[in-house]
Structure 1
Amino acid sequence: MKILVLGSRGMLGRSLVSRLPGFANTSFPLIKVIAAHYEHVDITQGSNTARFITQTMPDVIVNCAAFTNVDACETQISEAFAVNATGAKNIALAGKETGSKIIHISTDYVFDGTKNQSYAETDRPNPVSIYGKSKYEGELAIQEISDLYAIIRTAWLYGQYKKNFVTTMLDLGKKNGFVSVVTDQFGSPTYTADLSYAIWNVISKDLQGIYHVANTGICSRYEWASKIFELTGDKVSVFPMKTVDYKRAATVPQNSSLSCLKYTMKSGHTMRPWQEALEEYLGTFHYPNAR
């Protein structure tokens, strides 16, 4: 099997490329992983995308490429839609020609966050930010064009290789001795290592349709930050604040937690609790005071 990973220099893309060979086994051998980023293929250009995918002829295309700076999307609107929507459309068109299955990575931000329970795949998206709208348009393009696809919505990603919420908290805590974090945004922190395995599960078990995949459990960003410093043993004060007092360009969902029951039922795999995944990730930093 030949798997093409687009967006291979991103946080999830790099994790996936490094881990896919280790997931393969005798019952489902992995022939080749092709890592591609914007210097190899410009997914915003249809002809460029079609040529690259035709040349590589992958069995599976995992689209990790995205414009993920949520606040920047509010001012760089055309760029956001070019990557997140048109890019997805171009990949779907090219993949249909080569008979490739599309694994498209999407986001919890396709929802408005007003539901008082975790979102299921059957809930109607209603994005409230340019980022969310552009990602949802990409989802629609995949569904309209491709006959072979799985859309994976995930949430609050962190992992090696790129700056993320965890590293931001650690940096601010070290610099100031305190952090201020919102208490009224809720979701499920998701470790890229765990999501990478889930993506492999979707590929190897030939799952199709839309799936929510995140580490289990729900917390506020305030609770997430507090857990980070509890696990590292750093003496950092975590002060609560409200979203209304945190000035940012984009409107974000208040509750974007995802129900992953469908993925668990179809794959036979349950994502581990977010606290366990976070502890493992922090262990890679070699904190002397970590539990």
Structure 2
Amino acid sequence: MKILVTGVTGQLGHDVMLELQSRGHEAIGAARKEFSLTDFEAARAFVERTHPDAIIHCAAYTAVDRAEDEKDLCMITNGGATRALAAAAKDVGAKFVYLSTDYVFPGTGDTPYETDALKGPANAYGLSKLAGETAVQELLDAYFIVRISWVFGVNGKNFVRTMLRLAETHDALTVVDDQIGSPTYTKDLARLLVDMVESEKYGVYHATNEGFCSWAEFASEIFRQAGKHVTVTPVPSSAYPTKATRPKNSRLSKAALDAAGFQRLPAWQDALARYLCELHKNPNK
């Protein structure tokens, strides 16, 4: 298959390209130099010119706090560009994979959200990603909407890298403990996304590594596995006020994956161990 991947300079796009190439697909990477997500005509023209069999749309506006001050830009990038790419996919008959987020939900309660649970984003970023979902569902039949959370990969900045950097200068840290979710390793996620695009099991899915934790628990496990002697003190979200409201409940149900016969991702602790090994092998990435 010929598969177009947007956002190839990011964590997920990088690993999706590698996974596609390892399986013998013709992977076409698109970054800002190919087209800007705010230039809808350029995006559609690129799809028409390359005429892919599928599009895996990883690119997005992800600056959650800045989005509160750049709501229009965030909506144009995540909502408008997704609509333009989905329309282009329809024109060329391509499957479409849209990466969404747990932020489309209100983030309340303590039970995992099912794929069809009531939406209610609490910030501008979540609203923009929900707009992207709506566009995909309105325009296409051959689509996969995949909601993810707490992403980490070798090709970019993330919570794991931040904790490891702080461990070099701190022997104690305070970390939020009332936001619960699941870390997601991009290498594991990339395999699942390619499994999906190779199938015709269209629909809405949740895909994170297995298990739930707080950010404080995640930090503690990072330090334990990395052999860093850092004491983590759990604190409430109120200790670190942010411009954008963060969900307290980011738990996502995997029932849709099970029903479709897709394999769940490994436990997040296992994913973290493999990621730390990857960082050790590629210290300059």
Q: Deviations over 1:86-142 (max 9, x none)?
A: 010110111111111110000011111113201110101110011101000110011
**Which of 27, 30, 37 is the aligned partner of 2:31?**
37
TM-score (norm 1): 0.94
Partner of 2:186: 192
Residue 241 of structure 1 aligns with which residue?
Answer: 235
* AA aligned opposite 1:224: F
Residue 172 (structure 1) shift? 1.2
Post-superposition shift, 1:267?
3.1
Question: Displacement of 1:45 after TM fit?
Answer: 2.1
Partner of 1:179: 173
CA distance in 2, matches of 1:46, 1:182: 39
1:60 deviation in Å? 0.2
Q: TM-score, normalised by structure 2?
A: 0.96
Q: CA deviation at 1:283?
A: 1.6
CA distance in 1, matches of 2:144, 2:122: 24
Instruction: Give the conservation status (yes or no) of the 8 Å contact 2:19–2:190.
Output: yes
Paired AA for residue 2 in structure 1: K
- Segments of structure 1 that go 5 or more residues without pairing to the other structure are none
The aligned amino acid for 1:91 is: L
Query: Structure 2: 5+ residue runs without aligned partners?
Result: none
Q: Which secondary structure does the structure 1 equivalent of 2:66 belong to?
A: helix
| Correspondences of 1:134-283 after superposition (within 5 Å) | 134-283=128-277
Q: Where do residues 2-13 of structure 1 align in structure 2 (5 Å cutoff)?
A: 2-13=2-13
Q: CA–CA distance in 2 between the matches of 1:245 and 1:98?
A: 50
Cα distance between partner residues in 2 of 1:8 and 1:279: 24
201-210 vs 156-165, which deviates more? Answer: 201-210
Shift of 1:254: 0.2
The amino acid of 1:207's aligned partner reads K
Residue 112 of structure 1 is matched in structure 2 by 106
One-letter identity of the residue aligned with 2:57:
N
**TM alignment of 1:58-97, pairs within 5 A:** 58-97=52-91
Report what 1:98 is aligned to.
92
Q: Considering only aligned residues, what root-mean-square deviation do their CA atoms show, in Å?
A: 1.2
